[in-house]
Amino acid sequence: MTPSRPALWRSLTLLLLAGAVSMAALATDTAPGDPTARLHDLFDRAWRYGLQEDPLFATSVGVHDYDDRLPSQSIADQKRRDEAARSFLKELQAIDRSRLSAEEQINYSIFADQLEDGIAAYDFREYEIPLNADSGFHSDFSRLADVVPLATVKDYENYLARLRAFPKYVDQHIELMREGISRGMTLPRAVLDGIDGTMQAHIVDDPAKSVFWPPFEHFPTGVPAAEHERLRAAGRKAILEGAVPGYKHLLDFMVHEYIPKARPTLGASELPNGRAYYDHLVRRFTTLDVTADQVHQTGLSEVARIQKEMDDVIRQTGFKGDFQAFLKFLRTDPRFYAKTPEELLMHASFIAKRIDGKLPAFFKTLPRLPYTVQPVPDSIAPKYTGGRYVEAPKGSTQPGIYWVNTRTPAPTSECAPRPE
């Protein structure tokens, strides 16, 4: 999940969506005091609360009650959500887990873990870093036209409302980041070179050059022709008075305040209360009670195992030279690089399709929703990874996307990117 949204509620709603049961049937078939009924009543209320708190997520799962809004992200909002999480956790702990079925005990434990993780994230004030080196709330927003419904006049009015709301959305995130600056809770300065480009790309004089404009070029059949020009005029205004000023304000803040004051250190352990925060992140990402040293040792053993396999492959190829020489060969020889963006997309598509053919050998049940291969949007490509899967909005019929970065620099004899 991107860090800019209410991450706790996003994770909770994902859980509840995945494990949803019929609440109406449950209420009918089970006595009010039954722990299973209480558990699912809690799930239902947490789900509804999460949708209200994150309108963007609500849209993505097909709940359109809040399609004209963006999440409110002020410091007061963070506190209010934390209080709600603690209240939900207290209510959960009052349910006798031992009286639940084995399946419901799993649901209980996952829900408890997510609540506790979100509460810990609040205590560490994780919300003060709402973006990272290659993405964040600002880049998520740039995909708005791709992830919201745009089939009716009402859908367009909602889209316009969100564009107009963007400056306030930016202001709230800046408020969070200023709090982070004041106590050293920032991204490392070393990863911020070029991040201004992910904002500069959206500061345009001509609305037609904006990523937010395409919905106004061609309207779906559900939008009457008589509405087209009115909506286009409103779109121009919303882009120039909403989206553009929001990105400009964020760019000014990043260039003149955030980047100059970003911390010179690298590791999360160097953040405020960093050692404890690092331990928390180890627990979050491994779901195990292991120490950072144990994770590090696992990493070292994996590196040794993989390098041994690589050494075997090098010998099989007949390459004359040591490991470092082989790496330089891979990174600099033109034969390992596509010559054009189109060629790179073709290779990526072929690899993806070839892997699709192997999946039935490893998985009994495969996803029904397909995925497509597309280039990483130009506005974020310079700071983005070589490739990454972007999930489809929950509940939508849109495919997932495997993004391929077609703007990766070409290799040189001195320094070239490692092939992804």
Tokens of 185: 């809770």
Q: What percent of the chain has pLDDT over 70?
A: 88
Residue 28 has pLDDT above 70, yes or no: no
Residue in 406, 401, 403, 361 with CA at minimum distance from that of residue 382: 406
Q: What is the pLDDT of residue 239?
A: 98
CA angle 248, 383, 265 (to 5 degrees): 90
Looking at residue 98, its amino acid is: S
Residue in 187, 141, 134 with CA at minimum distance from that of residue 167: 141
- Considering the entire predicted model, what is its pTM? 0.84
Mean per-residue pLDDT of the chain: 88
Separation CA 327–CA 318 (nearest Å): 14
How far is CA 19 from each of CA 16, 22, 136, 392, rounded to the nearest angstrom?
A: 5, 10, 28, 19
Model confidence band, residue 407 (pLDDT cutoffs 50, 70, 90): confident
How far is CA 285 from each of CA 166, 270, 366, rounded to the nearest angstrom?
A: 31, 19, 25
Residue 26 has pLDDT above 50, yes or no: no
Separation CA 91–CA 42 (nearest Å): 8
Calculate the CA dihedral of residues 331, 335, 337, 340 and round it to 10 degrees.
150
At residue 277, the 3 state secondary structure works out as helix
Total residues belonging to the chain = 420
pLDDT in tens, 142-194: 999 988 999 999 999 999 999 999 999 999 999 999 999 999 999 999 999 99
Residue 12 has pLDDT above 60, yes or no: no
**H/E run at residue 7:** helix 7-18
Q: What is the pLDDT of residue 18?
A: 42
Q: What is the pLDDT of residue 10?
A: 52
Separation CA 18–CA 112 (nearest Å): 16
- Sorted by where each begins, the domain ranges of the chain are 7-286, 291-320, 325-420
Q: What is the pLDDT of residue 380?
A: 82
Helix ranges (DSSP H) in 19-54: 23-29, 35-53
Residues 6+ apart with CB under 8 A from 165: 69, 70, 242
At residue 400, the 3 state secondary structure works out as strand
Residue 203 has pLDDT above 90, yes or no: yes
Helix ranges (DSSP H) in 132-207: 137-141, 144-147, 153-183, 197-200
Residue found under tokens 């400056």 = 167
Residue 65 has pLDDT above 50, yes or no: yes
**326 alpha-carbon distance from chain centroid:** 35
Angle formed by the axes of helices 7-18 and 35-53, to 10°?
A: 130
Q: What is the pLDDT of residue 169?
A: 98
Average pLDDT over residues 14-36: 51
Q: What is the pLDDT of residue 408?
A: 61
Per DSSP, the residues of 315-346 read: HHHT--S-HHHHHHHHHH-GGGS-SSHHHHHH
Residue 234 has pLDDT above 80, yes or no: yes
Separation CA 420–CA 418 (nearest Å): 6
Do residues 12 and 114 lie in contact, with contact meaning Cβ atoms separated by under 8 Å?
yes
Residue 4 has pLDDT above 50, yes or no: no
Average pLDDT over residues 367-384: 85
Average pLDDT over residues 394-398: 61
**H/E run at residue 343:** helix 341-358
Q: What percent of the chain has pLDDT over 90?
A: 76
Model confidence band, residue 415 (pLDDT cutoffs 50, 70, 90): very low
Q: What is the pLDDT of residue 388?
A: 84
Q: What is the pLDDT of residue 21?
A: 37
Residue in 283, 304, 305 with CA at minimum distance from that of residue 292: 283
Compute the 3-state secondary structure of the chain and give helix, strand, coil in percent, each to the nearest 5: 60, 5, 35
The DSSP bridge partners found for residue 403 are 374, 388
Residue in 420, 379, 382 with CA at minimum distance from that of residue 402: 420
Residues 6+ apart with CB under 8 A from 321: 329
Who has greater pLDDT, 402 or 238?
Answer: 238
At residue 67, the 3 state secondary structure works out as coil
Average pLDDT over residues 283-299: 94
Residue found under tokens 């495919």 = 399
Do residues 348 and 373 lie in contact, with contact meaning Cβ atoms separated by under 8 Å?
yes
How is the beta sheet containing 387-390 ordered, strand by strand? Answer: 371-375, 400-404, 387-390
Model confidence band, residue 31 (pLDDT cutoffs 50, 70, 90): very low
Model confidence band, residue 417 (pLDDT cutoffs 50, 70, 90): very low
Q: What is the pLDDT of residue 134?
A: 84
pLDDT in tens, 320-331: 999 999 999 999
Backbone φ and ψ for 267, nearest 5 degrees, come out as -70, 155
39-43, 357-361, 371-375, 392-396: the lowest-pLDDT one = 392-396
Residue 345 has pLDDT above 60, yes or no: yes
